[in-house]
Chain A
C-alpha cells in the first residue's frame, strides 16, 4: 500500500525537476460518503495548476484534504511538499510547512476586525507579506481595517481571505474560487499578483469556475469529475481540446 510516490511520475511533464507538491492516490470521505477517489497529481515549484471540474466534482474536497483539514477524512494516500510528508500533519502543521488555503466560503473570522484577521495569520512563524504591503495590494482593506471582518462586502471579504493567505510565508497557495464575487478590475489585480508571486517561486493550485481565465493564467490543468482525475496536462492542451472543454467545462 504505502509505496512512496515517484516524484517524476507525471508522464505529461517533460521537466526533469522533481515535483514540489505531490499528491498521490488520495482517498477521502465525509463520514460515509466517498468523495475523493484516488486523486494523484504533481506540481512543480513555481507552477500554477488549475484544478477544474463541475459543481460537486470534488475540487473543494481535494483542496481541503491537501490542506489537512479534518473533513473530509483522508483514508489513504500521500501528500508531499518539498520533501515533507504532509499526510501525517494536521492543518496547523501543514501551514507551518508552507501550505496555505484560501477557502471557498472565505471564512472571515467573526468578532475580529479586518486588521485582527490579518494579524492572526502572523502569529505563528513563518510570516509573509507585511500588513502595509497587503494594504497596498488591497487599498480597500486598508480603508476598512478597523471594521469587523464579517461586515465587509462580499468582494472585500474575498480580498481579505486572499490577503490573509499572503500574510503567511508560503510555498504553496491553494486558491478555492478566488475570483468569486470580485469585480473584474480586482480580478485583473489579483492575476497580476499571482504572476508576481509565481516569479518568486511560489507554487499555486487554483480552483476556478471561470475556467478560461484560470487556464490563461495556469501552466497546467487537472480536471476532476466525480472525485477522479479525468485529465492531466498543460493548460494549453485544454484550451485546444474542444471535446474536453465541452464535456467537463462547458466552454
Chain B
C-alpha cells in the first residue's frame, strides 16, 4: 500500500518533469509543426543558465594565504566571492545559496533571446521545408550548442544544489498518519511539482483564453491564408518560439538541483520528450501533459521490485511499451488532433 502511494508520488514528480520538458516541445513540434531536435539543447541551456548564474555569483578574487599550501606545495590562493565581499559573508552567502531560484529570473530573458534568435535566424526558413530538413538543421544546431557548452563547461556534470532550506526531505507518510520513513519526499521535488503546475497552467491559460492559440494553430495549418487575413503570422510564430524556449529553459533551471547538469543532458531527454509529445497526441497541450504524468507514474511503478520480478527488465522498456500500446489503440495518441503531421 505505501509502496503504491510512494511510487504514485514519485511518478507525479517524474511526470511533472516529463510534462514540463514536453510542454515546450509541444509548442514547437506539436503546434508549429517543426521537428525540433534542438529542444533538448534548449533544456540543457536552461540548466546552464543556472550554472552560469551561480558561477557569476561566486566570481571571486584571489588572495594568497601563506599558511596553506596547494597540491604542488606552493602557497595556496584563497578565493573570496565578490558577492560576499560586497554584501558581507552572511548576505552574500545567502545570495549564492539562492542561485537556482534566482536563475529563473536570469533565464527568462536569456532563453527568450535564444528562442528569438533561433527562430528568426534559422527556423523561420524551415517552416515550409520538409520535416527531414528540419531534423537535420535542428540536430546540427543541437550539436553545436552542446559543443559550445562543453567547450566552456567541460563534459563532467556540475553540481548545482538547491538553496539550503529546500535540501533534504520531509516525511509525507507521517503527515497522513503512516509509519515513519514509509513515504519520504524531498522538498525540492515538491517545489518542482508546483512550479511545473504553475508553468503548465500559465501556458495553457495563455493559449486557451486568448486568440493566440487559435491563430497559431491556423497558421500552422495554412500560413498563406492566415497572412491573407491580415495576421502577421511570422511574429506569432516567433513569440510562440520564444515562449517555448523559455518554458524549456525554465524546466532546465529547476531541474538542476535534482540532477547535476551536463552538456549532453538534453540529448538524454530528447527521445523521451518526443515520445511524450506524440503519445499525448500531436497538437494537444493537455495531451502532452497527461502523457507526461502517465509515463512518469507508469515508469515509477515499473521500477518496483515486485513488478520487475514478474517481468524482468520491464523498467527498461516500459515507456516504449506504453507508447506502442497507446499509439496502436489510439491512432492519434491520447488527444491528438486530426491531420497534424500524419503524413
To the question of whether A and B form a pair in one complex, the answer is: yes
Residues on A close to B: CB < 8 A?
67, 69-70, 90-93, 95-96, 100-101, 103, 107, 109-112, 116, 119-121, 123-125, 164, 168
Contact with A along B203-231 (1 / 0, CB 8 A): 00000000100110110011011111111
Q: Which of B326-343 contact A (CB under 8 A)?
A: 337-340
Q: Verify A120–B226 contact, CB threshold 8 A.
A: yes
A-contacting residues, B48-101, CB 8 Å: none
Contact B228–A95 (Cβ < 8 Å): yes
A119 x B231 contact (CB < 8 A): no
| B224 / chain A contacts, CB cutoff of 8 Å | 69-70, 91, 107
Interface contact B229-A111, CB-CB below 8 Å: no
Q: Tell whether, in the assembled complex, residue A92 and residue B232 are in contact, meaning their CB atoms are under 8 Å apart.
A: yes
A169 vs chain B, min Cβ distance (A): 10
Question: Chain A contacts of B211 at CB under 8 A?
Answer: 119, 123
Task: Please give, as numbers and ranges, the residues of chain A lying within 8 Å of B228 by CB-CB distance.
Answer: 67, 69, 91-92, 95, 100-101, 103, 107
How long is the Cα–Cα vector from A101 to B226 in the complex, in angstroms?
11
Q: Select the residue from A91, A119, A121, A124 with max chain B CB neighbours within 10 A.
A: A91
CB distance from B211 to the nearest CB of A (A): 6
With known contacts A69-B228, A107-B222, A111-B337, A120–B214 Cβ distance under 8 A? yes
Contact A120-B229, Cβ < 8 Å, known A111-B338, A111-B339, A112-B214: yes
Identify which of B222, B227, B230 contacts A110 (C-beta below 8 A): B222
B214/A119 in contact, CB under 8 A: yes
Chain A CB within 10 Å, residue with most, of B222, B225, B339? B225
B44 is an interface residue with CB less than 8 A from chain A: no
Q: How far is the CB of A103 from chain B (nearest CB, A)?
A: 7
Chain A residue with Cβ nearest B232: A92
User: Are A124 and B229 closer than 8 Å at their CB atoms?
Assistant: yes
Question: Shortest distance in angstroms between B253's beta carbon and chain A's nearest beta carbon?
Answer: 33
Residue B35 interfacial (CB < 8 Å): no
Cross-chain contact A96 with B230 (CB below 8 angstroms): yes
Category for how many chain B residues contact A: 20 to 34
Instruction: State the Cβ distance, A220 to closest chain B Cβ, in Å.
Output: 24
Q: Given A69-B224, A107-B222, A112–B230 Cβ distance below 8 Å?
A: no
Nearest A residue (CB) for B212: A123
Chain A residue numbers with a CB within 8 Å of B337 are 111
B51 CB to nearest A CB, Å: 40
The answer for the CA separation of A92 and B214 in the assembled complex, in Å, is: 17
Interface residues of B in 290-332 (CB under 8 A from A): none
| B34, CB-defined interface residue at 8 Å | no
Say whether A168 contacts B229, CB under 8 Å.
Answer: yes
Binding site for A on B (CB under 8 A): 211, 214-215, 217-218, 221-222, 224-233, 283, 337-340
- Residues of B near A95 (CB, < 8 A) are 227-230
4 closest cross-chain pairs (CB), A and B: A95-B230, A124-B230, A91-B227, A107-B225
* Apart from A112-B221, A119-B211: 9 A-B pairs, beta carbons within 8 A: A91-B227, A92-B231, A107-B225, A110-B339, A111-B338, A111-B340, A112-B217, A120-B214, A121-B230
22 A-B residue pairings within 8 Å (CB atoms): A90-B232, A91-B224, A92-B230, A92-B232, A92-B233, A95-B228, A107-B228, A109-B218, A110-B222, A111-B283, A111-B339, A112-B218, A112-B221, A116-B218, A120-B229, A121-B229, A121-B230, A123-B211, A123-B215, A123-B229, A124-B230, A124-B231
* CB-based contact A109/B225 at 8 Å: yes
Residues of chain A with a CB closer than 8 A to B217's CB: 111-112
Minimum distance in angstroms from A225 CB to a CB of chain B = 26
CA distance A121 to B283 in the complex (A): 22
Rounded to whole angstroms, the CA-CA distance of A103 and B211 in the bound complex is 24
Q: Give the shortest distance, in Å, between B338 (CB) and chain A (any CB).
A: 7
Query: Would you call A111 and B215 a contact (CB within 8 A)?
Result: no
Report B-chain residues with C-beta under 8 Å of the C-beta of A111. Answer: 217-218, 221, 283, 337-340
Q: Which residue of A lies closest to B235 (CB)?
A: A92
A100 contact set on B, CB distance < 8 A: 228
Look across to chain B and name the residue whose beta carbon is closest to the beta carbon of A148: B338
Q: Which of B214, B225, B283, B338 contacts A103 (CB 8 A)?
A: B225
The CA of A110 and the CA of B214, in the complex, are separated in Å by 11
Distance from A111 Cβ to chain B, minimum over Cβ atoms (Å):
5
A112 to B214: give the CA distance in the assembly, Å: 8
Could you tell me the distance in whole angstroms from the C-beta of B43 to the nearest C-beta in chain A?
28
- Contact check: which of B226, B232, B340 meets A109 at CB < 8 Å? B226
**Residues of chain A with a CB closer than 8 A to B340's CB:** 111
Minimum C-beta distance from A8 to chain B (A): 30
Name the residue among A96, A123, A124, A168 with the largest chain B CB count within 10 angstroms: A123
Cα A93 to Cα B231 in complex, Å, equals 8
Contact of B229 among A90, A93, A110, A164 (CB under 8 A): A164
B283 CB contacts on chain A under 8 angstroms: 111
A13 CA to B338 CA, complexed, in Å: 52
Give CA–CA (A124, B219) in the complex, Å.
14
Docked Cα-Cα span, A121 to B339, in Å, equals 22
- Bound-complex Cα distance A164 to B283 (A): 25
Q: Which residues of A contact B221 (CB under 8 A)?
A: 109-112
CB distance from B340 to the nearest CB of A (A): 8
Please, which residue of chain A has its CB at the minimum distance from the CB of B217? Answer: A111
Provide the bound-state CA to CA distance between A91 and B225, in Å. 9
Within the assembled complex, what's the spacing in Å between the Cα atoms of A182 and B221? Answer: 25
